[in-house]
Structure 1
């Protein structure tokens, strides 16, 4: 177990969060993720201001109270629209609201949303100021270390300093640049090299700001390493493909990780509840495919629950019982050897 004490290089008020991910961090996933760790901060998928102002608010904003602390990430660039949506988020019960200045997708660029806004720090500052004036909950920014020809540390620092003049103090920094012309969103998560040192340097140069690092973080060991340099760690796809990583992070709070099977026993009633609401079983089981990542039988678990292989809740329960037997047998054989 990791030790965090008065002499530890990890701050006592550190923060671990799960990144907002389109089509992944749905409210069903967030309910599941919360069962692994009560301390981590969860994020909604990015929701555009237009979807909230002109769409089905409940569809985009509803959540289960157990998901808290929960952050709504907004996409937009109109200060008044963002202020209005921030007010709605606060009234809806969100603990924080975050502005997306990191998404590299062509679709959002065309609407002046996401990473392209790094080229307009004054506009981002106007947006943040309007949002802060509208609400009492914290307003934060998630951004890249650079975009296109704006790749230097100094340019990122200028962006942060400009936004920080609004008294915004919390910046989540994806430690890769985004190349908005020529790379897909997936390539922008993989091809530009990670520059963790730039994020560490930002914390050193602006110690009064809360700096949270994001990008390519896939283990408890890496999380611990980053916490020696910054205030928080945001975990992305690793928290989805291997959600037990969130349980392992309980060690950062000097607490014992929960058991995978106990987590599933808590999640099964939720699955039943959502099925009664009309949700499809495959829509729910897709979030739990990684539960047994790297354990004996993990592949069989994924196969049993993928697509429409599981027809009923009984099929999920049967797959769970099979995993219990498989893991027990593997552990028993190991002890016997």
Structure 2
């Protein structure tokens, strides 16, 4: 049941069926209710029913407005914490119910079962983000999705986003304002350096530029770590050449997918670096080249074929290669 124009009667009937069936309460393990188009006020009864599912392992409530139902969201996360392994609350307007989300996720962290969590595309206060990252530091996650997570007041720096470790295999920070925060980046440096780090995917494309020093410190630590299998740094064209040298020489030994953006002045040098880099696992690469002029853009397009041929020889496992000139 997802992306459907379900009437309030159907949703209420579904909730009633759960409440009236002990078999459903003990056997229903997965709920996919993405973008169920009902009046947001109608979610109280269904959420209360879902909280009674003793065997619930995965719940997807993404793209439903839950701003009026903090107590019910908390109850769902808390009462099902010992069984929940996957929670998707993407674009659920959680900013209005932050304290309830914190309480529910704290219960999940204490239970230690949660493996996949998405709170993507929500706007939060800095206080919540600080508490949230502390909770995440106590989890062992397969995936954490923070895409498009934004801070309500980007000028508020009263709370540092601090954590010493972040045990997650696949981390998605696409276009999140978190990567613009120096305390978050500093904590990421510590997390990647931590002995418990198991990071395999780091997705942090951005249309805005993080502070150079903080970003470079993180890139240096990622290069030292050397176990990233999927790295997405699209849009970060302001990275100096030495930053890319660090990544290409040390950071992509196990990388299968690399996506990045470089300035046209560095493009040829980066291609040369790739030809000598030790990247035996690299299978896919997307390289955006930020052109400084119309003539530069044309030159990039004309050179792309030459670059493809050179990399085909140097990286024989590379099966997908894209060059894009951007203005």
Question: TM-score scaled by structure 1?
Answer: 0.31
Question: TM-score scaled by structure 2?
Answer: 0.32
- The structure that has the greater radius of gyration is 2
